[in-house]
Amino acid sequence: MRSRDRSFWVWAEALDLLQGGERLQRQGFMVKTVPSAPCWEPSVDLYENGDELTLLVALPGVSARQVEVALEEAGLVVRGERPMPSVCQRAAIHRLEIPYGRFERRIALPPGSYRLHEQLLENGFLIVVLRQPGQG
């Protein structure tokens, strides 16, 4: 075998390995693999102003009907799903940095008793306002 033939064979093998890795990655990132388990956590900012807490949860690409907010003893829980855009579901993936699928974030709150006052999704942020009972 000539050295030029050998280098071609090595590159062909490397390409096959990369393509196999891409197939495994696509299978690993499929939303339907574990439908009940959360697979990512959104970023959260928490602001306190007197007796009011405001939480900003980064959820670009998520619609309001795909989000659930629950106030529990341990804090606030935000869960839902960001679906992969339909135009991308059968495409070859070259880069995948945006997490898709089920998400859940549990946020511990400062000491106090709170009630859900307001919840809206605006410009890719879920805005949750909590107030202490008896206030506004």
* pLDDT tens across the length of the chain (136 residues): 555 666 677 777 777 777 777 766 665 555 444 556 768 999 999 999 999 999 999 999 999 999 999 999 889 999 999 998 888 878 888 888 899 999 999 999 999 999 999 999 999 999 999 999 875 5
Give the pLDDT confidence score for residue 107 in this predicted structure.
Answer: 97
Least Cα distance to 67 among 109, 122, 133, 112 occurs for: 122
Give the pLDDT confidence score for residue 61 in this predicted structure.
Answer: 92
Give the pLDDT confidence score for residue 4 in this predicted structure.
Answer: 61
Q: Is 1 helix (H, G, I), strand (E, B) or coil?
A: coil
- pTM of the prediction? 0.69
CATH topology of domain 34-131: Immunoglobulin-like (2.60.40)
Give the pLDDT confidence score for residue 41 in this predicted structure.
Answer: 94
Give the pLDDT confidence score for residue 86 in this predicted structure.
Answer: 87
Give the pLDDT confidence score for residue 127 in this predicted structure.
Answer: 98
d(CA 94, CA 73): 43
Q: Which two three-digit tokens encode residue 59?
A: 């959820």
The amino acid at 35: P
Give the pLDDT confidence score for residue 91 in this predicted structure.
Answer: 87
DSSP states along 9-38 = HHHHHHHHHHHHHHHHHHHHT-GGGSTTS-
